[in-house]
Homo-oligomer: A and B are copies of this chain.
Amino acid sequence: MINETYKAMLGGKSVIRTLSEYATARGKEIGYENVFDYSLGNPSVPCPPSFTKTVIDMYETAEPVVLHGYSPSLGLPGVRKVIADSLDRRFGMDYTLDHIFPTTGAAGALAHALRAVTEPGDEVITFAPYFPEYQPYVSGTGARLTVVPADTENFQINFDAFEQALNPGVTAVLINTPNNPSGAVYSAATLERLAGLLRDKQTEYGHDIFLISDEPYREIVFDGAEQPYPAKFYDNTLTCYSWSKSLSLPGERIGYVAVNPKATDAGLIVPMMGQISRGTGHNCPSSTMQLAVAKVIDETSDLSVYETNMNLLYDALTSIGFDVVRPGGTFYIFPRALEADANAFCMKAKDYDLILVPSDSFGVPGHFRMAYCVDTEKVKRSIPVLERFAHEVYGL
């Protein structure tokens, strides 16, 4: 019989998807170059040529039955070792291949990490603003998501609200840094304070609290800075990664979970994720993609355009009069809307062919997200339109 739970979910359509589809349809009317589509976080720069070359080389020279053969359900050992070694080199960790579980992107990583360290009925805490898909990721495991209100001053962590929310039912905390949608990069001070608090609460509650750190934007950090590595601060950390953004491969569904070797039962968690896979139908990501990312492990796309675009938009928005926190990374900016109702604000912007995403689904009212993974030329053309919109509608 048809499952009634999933049937009932059919109404819920992502605001971002709806806006993106509107932008595409509007583009067909007036030319897509005339739609200032800031809706979707789809990378706008190509993968590095070395990635393309690597895949072509494999297809031209490898034995097809080997290249396309079954990967072990825990991933290709050689690939897992390359990932571990790279993280150890970059962040001073002690991963071995036994701590690495290749996945179908960050979605696959989060699905496995959440199931590994929660039981149905457990509470998982995340911090606003947060990626809306965290709701189905968490509810799909049988756990429930509690959202701690945002620190709207700088989009680090609202620790007062977090301390109030913590209780013995919390078994995992889910963070995303650099953050979608705010662009905030959690500082070492933030991560240190978070880790200290979690350690205290583990002792107080007498059970583990795992930190699940979602890091697909790890390599997109501005001003020459770096994202401090969260697992370095807290032993019970599962790091979830995707090459979607760093190598511009969102459609290829390739990422991993890295289990901190100092975590409780660290040696069991990857094999447990193998068992979880048997029930979700995940198995493992494409064998070719595993091999290909391993061959370009420390490379990225040319990500500089995102910083160029951020600076253009930040300066323009500030000079127009928007209240906006300067992003430290990602390809998002998250200004305060010019009226309290972010949906109304974004609807009015649509009349100017400015496609902005209202903040409510990110767990924060009164803001909007711009995904500036678009051509710089279009960003420049959008600025006078933003000015005209703010002036004509809001008198700025």
Residues of A within 8 A of B (CB): 1-7, 9-10, 12, 40, 42-47, 52, 55-56, 59-60, 63-65, 67-71, 103-105, 107-112, 115-119, 122, 133, 136-137, 139-141, 171, 207-210, 248-253, 264-265, 268-269, 271-273, 275-276, 278-289
A140 CB contact (under 8 Å) in B9, B248, B279, B289: B279
B3 touches A118 (CB 8 A): yes
A287 touches B251 (CB 8 A): yes
CA distance A1 to B212 in the complex (A): 12
Q: Which 4 A-B pairs have the closest CB atoms?
A: A140-B279, A111-B281, A251-B287, A136-B278
Q: Known A140-B280, A279-B140; judge A252-B68 contact (CB<8 A).
A: yes
Whole-angstrom distance from the CB of A4 to the nearest CB of chain B? Answer: 7
Taking CB atoms, residues of chain B closer than 8 Å to A279 are 111, 136-137, 139-141
A282 CB contact (under 8 Å) in B44, B278, B282: B282
Number of copies: 2
Whole-angstrom distance from the CB of A332 to the nearest CB of chain B? Answer: 16
Q: Known A251-B286, A279-B140, A281-B282; judge A9-B59 contact (CB<8 A).
A: no
A-B contact pairs, 9 of them (CB 8 A): A70-B251, A103-B281, A108-B282, A108-B283, A109-B281, A137-B278, A139-B279, A251-B286, A280-B282
Taking CB atoms, residues of chain B closer than 8 Å to A60 are 52, 56
Listed residue (A42, A103, A250, A279) with the most chain B CB atoms within 10 angstroms of its CB: A279
A59 CB contact (under 8 Å) in B52, B64, B283: B52
Whole-angstrom distance from the CB of A249 to the nearest CB of chain B? Answer: 5
A251 touches B71 (CB 8 A): yes
Taking CB atoms, residues of chain B closer than 8 Å to A44 are 65
Whole-angstrom distance from the CB of A381 to the nearest CB of chain B? Answer: 20
Q: Known A64-B52, A104-B104; judge A253-B283 contact (CB<8 A).
A: yes
CA distance A22 to B251 in the complex (A): 37
Of chain B, the residue at the smallest CB distance from A373 is B65
A65 CB contact (under 8 Å) in B10, B65, B248: B248
CA distance A159 to B208 in the complex (A): 51
A115 CB contact (under 8 Å) in B3, B112, B271, B287: B3
Whole-angstrom distance from the CB of A95 to the nearest CB of chain B? Answer: 19
CA distance A250 to B70 in the complex (A): 5
Taking CB atoms, residues of chain B closer than 8 Å to A110 are 281
A117 touches B253 (CB 8 A): no
